[in-house]
Structure 1
Amino acid sequence: MKKSLILILLSVNLFFNNSAFSQKDNSKIINAFSDRVFIGKGYQPLGSLKWKYKTDGKIFSSPITKNGVVYIGSEDGFLSAIEEKSGNLKWKFKTNGAIHSSPSIYENIVYFGSFDGNYYAVNTLTGKLLWKFKTGGEHWLGEIGLWGMKPETQYMEDLWDFYLSSPVVYENGKLASVVFGSSDGNIYSVDAQTGDLKWKFKTNGPVHGTPAVDKNKIYVGGWDATLYALNAENGKPIWQFQTGTQIGFKGIQSSVAVSDGKVYFGAREPFFFALDSETGKLIWKYNAENSWILSSAVIKDNIVYVGTSDTFALLALDAKTGAEKYRFKTNGWVYSSPAIAGNTIYFGDFTGNFFSLDLLSNGKKSNFISTENRKQFASSTLKNDLLDFGYIAQNADLSVYDNNKKVMDQFYKLGAILSSPFINNNTIYFGSADGYLYAYNLEK
């Protein structure tokens, strides 16, 4: 969401949002957004395109890999299993809704959610359904006359509600559970093998954030603007932390990062927070300059890296104090959650650029590739190669909801990258709104 749009709406009085992990094929659990530090050496910029796989819908889901196969969901309603070496389809599993959830894996089961209202467990080898769990229904965030936009009687979906909650696996001894949020306002824990409900916890709004699990605690936030710490065994609340609730700046869409006794996360309230993991007390917060933070952070060497919306940046923050060490400027909103391998951090932006940045260069050494759609549409869509809401609106009345939707549809044509990268075997994978899953070689 552009702060300029919020200011426009205000002006017309229309309304008063780590432990290092090395990816190995024998990893028992691979959770979305929880393990973002991969095997790597030094600075490895992006190399040549290895392959790209086309789906029939925009991709918001983030890929994972295991045993030579990449798994990713698409707005076309399919979870696809694609061979790492060739980019050929191994199998795909059909749901009856868009898949904006990212998959997680436990042993030989892949878990994901769909807008058809189900969370699925599918055999990774065969693509056959093992079980599905019906929630109270999945839907975009929305309301009549959202943020005071016109017409006041129209139901409007939040155009920046990009993701569904991704299921994550929690294991205690021989027992494993799958935990996820739902648009029905509940956080669910189900048996990983059977899908039987273990417990559920009711919040005060849809939960599209992805849980994180650390030391028998589950951390997850939602559209009620509250971050919850729950007991992973029974779902009982341990503490909760309230973020801001101003219209247009309310809600938590990111997943948390946990490191050294602290919980790190961003929100639509334009701050990035560090809390005590035991008590939920605020340690510090970083002022993101009216910028939403939807990106999930990654931490390495006591530095927190996270993307921002309106400041078009990847931030590097001191993990202990929250002081900004530097920022790396991109060309648009950064909603993609970064991944690190060696001394390189990788992430995409909303204009269809995908970056590799040398962590030892203080933001000075980088390279990038662009989606094919960006190369085709950048000159007609971007202003001075930058995302600009007003430029595309061309004097259209942005107090009218449908005009905002038209702008977003134009931006998507760039091949916007909201998918977060995954790294394996010297290859990086990410999805794009152009419908492609990309596989790029990393330079050695």
Structure 2
Amino acid sequence: MKKLSILILLLLNFFFINSALSKKNNPKIINAFSNPVFDGKGYQPIGSLKWKFKTEGKIFASPIAKNDIVYIGSEDGFLYAIEEKSGKTKWKFKTEGAIHSSTSIFENTIYFGSFDGNYYAVNTEDGKLIWKFKTGGEHWLGEIGMWGMKPETQYMDDLWDFYLSSPVVYENGKTAVVLFGSSDGNVYSVDAKTGDLKWKFKTNGPVHGTPVIDRDKIYIGGWDATLYALNIETGKEIWSFATGTKTGFKGIQSSVAVSDGKVYFGAREPFFFALNAETGKLIWKYDAQSSWILSSAVIQDNTVYVGTSDTYALLALDAKTGAEKYRFKANGYVYTSPAIAGNTIYFGDFTGNFFSLDLHSNGKKSNVVSTENRKQFAASTLKNDLLDFGYTGQNEDLSLYDNNKKVMDQFYQLGSIVSSPFINNNTIYFGSADGYLYAYYLEK
């Protein structure tokens, strides 16, 4: 990977796996997307456009739908509640910063974070504030002279740190808590009704990953390149697993998937890992060919599906061994976390393409829709319809940070998709850097 030119996200995303529940207390876990595996019938390609909803900023967050309303945050600082049938605004809630956090819904409350430094609880019916929790501050990852880019005295935001941590709700009996990470380096547990702090756990770097809960544990990683397993009730560390810290290859942006006693996740260290869920010991790791893995995985039929950055692939890996079964080549970085319905997996790429792939075809049967911006700018931005950082920035000195940022802005014009999809009522929803939330019918 060319770290001064081809650098990528993740993520993200972030899809989050619902997992086995404690038999003792029968807790309820409300992850940000409930589960990336949805009900479906056979192979369902993407159909016609139902509607698209325009915001005034890029969309990096992922949508969620409940009770005929779709919710999405935008870089314009608003959380939107949109009617599923019409695509019209029901209400919108203003924060003082970009919303790169996805949401969770518990009862009549929706939870999310903003770059203004607050995590919010808002009434789903009328968009009124219930409470807000002030963190130590939310910000993009950054440093002076990042990765040797020039000028060496300039402070530089990491151009591929797209997301804030998305909240997860954990209900146990009569109590419920909201869990999320923060740029201040803490993982927080706060009362879901009041926003009062229950506990916090300090890491050694910003935490923009999203927590996943399984039984009595919370799993979360961050920019200190470490995955933590914490006790859900106390926040005490159970185990930790350190990934690599080489310059340009440090950090965990994805969320984990938990299945059959294993924890699966990718990192900027170019590997995808499978750990023992109880001990944190490595079971296997997949070499991603110097490509960050920032997509969060989804697992079905003993197969792990996850996106890659510089190799532009959706991978299908054997869940037991990590052996590659096949790969599907997209046109650019695959930062979105895929969603499965029936025999179909759905995901987007950084060039503004959104794919549906038949899981029974070994990567051979698919269809694609594109953002309007991609249709307009692909010829002038892409090389042979593929993302190529060096090609797009060929007239620029890519040792300069500002020129890297300029290339990224050109990519964004395509309507880059880093928002992960959500499926409801035979419709699939995803956001784009062109500022639109798209709603497409699924073919029956």
Distance of aligned partners of 1:308 and 1:86 in 2 relative to their CA distance in 1, 3 Å threshold: same
1:435 maps to what in 2? 435
Distance of aligned partners of 1:70 and 1:30 in 2 relative to their CA distance in 1, 3 Å threshold: farther
1:186 maps to what in 2? 186
Task: Describe the superposition over 1:388-409 as per-residue Cα deviations: whole angstroms up to 9, x where unpaired.
Answer: 0001111421111001000000
SS across alignment from 2:405: helix
Aligned counterparts of 1:253 and 1:394: Cα–Cα separation in 2: 29
Aligned counterparts of 1:324 and 1:7: Cα–Cα separation in 2: 28
1:223 maps to what in 2? 223
- Tell me the amino acid that sits aligned with residue 45 of structure 1: P
Distance apart, 1:6 and its partner CA: 4.5
Distance of aligned partners of 1:352 and 1:272 in 2 relative to their CA distance in 1, 3 Å threshold: same
1:156 maps to what in 2? 156
2:101 maps to what in 1? 101
Distance apart, 1:296 and its partner CA: 0.5
2:233 maps to what in 1? 233
2:2 maps to what in 1? 4
TM-score, scaled to structure 1: 0.95
Aligned counterparts of 1:233 and 1:255: Cα–Cα separation in 2: 20
TM-score, scaled to structure 2: 0.95
- Tell me the amino acid that sits aligned with residue 248 of structure 2: G
Q: How does 1:59-98 map to 2 (within 5 A)?
A: 59-98=59-98
2:110 maps to what in 1? 110
Aligned counterparts of 1:283 and 1:201: Cα–Cα separation in 2: 26
Q: How does 1:34-433 map to 2 (within 5 A)?
A: 35-433=35-433
SS across alignment from 1:407: helix
Aligned counterparts of 2:2 and 2:252: Cα–Cα separation in 1: 21
Aligned-residue RMSD, C-alpha: 1.4
Distance apart, 1:19 and its partner CA: 6.0
Q: Is the 8 A contact 2:3 2:248 kept in 1?
A: no
2:14 maps to what in 1? none
- Tell me the amino acid that sits aligned with residue 165 of structure 2: S
SS across alignment from 1:375: helix
Q: Quick check: 281-290 or 391-400, which moved more? A: 391-400
- Tell me the amino acid that sits aligned with residue 261 of structure 1: G
Q: Quick check: 66-75 or 390-399, which moved more? A: 390-399
- Tell me the amino acid that sits aligned with residue 415 of structure 1: G
Q: Is the 8 A contact 2:30 2:170 kept in 1?
A: no
SS across alignment from 1:373: helix
- Tell me the amino acid that sits aligned with residue 164 of structure 2: L
SS across alignment from 1:48: strand
Task: Describe the superposition over 1:247-280 as per-residue Cα deviations: whole angstroms up to 9, x where unpaired.
Answer: 0000000010001100000000000000000000
Q: Is the 8 A contact 1:6 1:248 kept in 2?
A: no
Distance apart, 1:79 and its partner CA: 0.3
Distance apart, 1:31 and its partner CA: 2.0
Aligned counterparts of 1:293 and 1:34: Cα–Cα separation in 2: 22
Structure 1 residue runs of 5 or longer lacking an equivalent are 10-17, 22-27
Distance apart, 1:29 and its partner CA: 5.8
Q: Is the 8 A contact 1:73 1:80 kept in 2?
A: yes
- Tell me the amino acid that sits aligned with residue 161 of structure 1: D
Distance apart, 1:177 and its partner CA: 0.5
Task: Describe the superposition over 1:83-126 as per-residue Cα deviations: whole angstroms up to 9, x where unpaired.
Answer: 01110100000000000000111111100000000000000011
Aligned counterparts of 1:284 and 1:8: Cα–Cα separation in 2: 27
Q: Is the 8 A contact 2:305 2:316 kept in 1?
A: yes
Aligned counterparts of 1:425 and 1:234: Cα–Cα separation in 2: 38
Q: Is the 8 A contact 2:18 2:213 kept in 1?
A: no
Distance apart, 1:343 and its partner CA: 0.3
Distance apart, 1:20 and its partner CA: 8.6
Aligned counterparts of 2:320 and 2:4: Cα–Cα separation in 1: 32
SS across alignment from 2:51: strand
Q: Quick check: 190-199 or 164-173, which moved more? A: 164-173
- Tell me the amino acid that sits aligned with residue 360 of structure 1: H
Q: Is the 8 A contact 1:218 1:229 kept in 2?
A: yes
- Tell me the amino acid that sits aligned with residue 245 of structure 1: T
- Tell me the amino acid that sits aligned with residue 413 of structure 1: Q
Distance apart, 1:5 and its partner CA: 3.8
- Tell me the amino acid that sits aligned with residue 292 of structure 1: W
How many percent identity over aligned positions?
A: 83
Aligned residues: 428
Aligned counterparts of 1:382 and 1:324: Cα–Cα separation in 2: 28
Return the structure number with greater relative CO, CA threshold 8 A, min gap 6. 2
Aligned counterparts of 1:66 and 1:144: Cα–Cα separation in 2: 43
Aligned counterparts of 1:326 and 1:8: Cα–Cα separation in 2: 24
Q: Is the 8 A contact 1:353 1:369 kept in 2?
A: yes
Q: Is the 8 A contact 2:71 2:81 kept in 1?
A: yes
SS across alignment from 2:2: helix
Task: Describe the superposition over 1:286-337 as per-residue Cα deviations: whole angstroms up to 9, x where unpaired.
Answer: 0000000110000011100000000000000000000000000000000000
- Tell me the amino acid that sits aligned with residue 56 of structure 1: E
Q: Is the 8 A contact 2:121 2:130 kept in 1?
A: yes
Distance of aligned partners of 1:109 and 1:29 in 2 relative to their CA distance in 1, 3 Å threshold: farther
Distance apart, 1:7 and its partner CA: 8.1
Distance apart, 1:173 and its partner CA: 1.6
SS across alignment from 1:86: coil
Structure 2 residue runs of 5 or longer lacking an equivalent are 8-16, 21-27
1:24 maps to what in 2? none
Q: Is the 8 A contact 1:33 1:296 kept in 2?
A: no
Distance of aligned partners of 1:422 and 1:304 in 2 relative to their CA distance in 1, 3 Å threshold: same
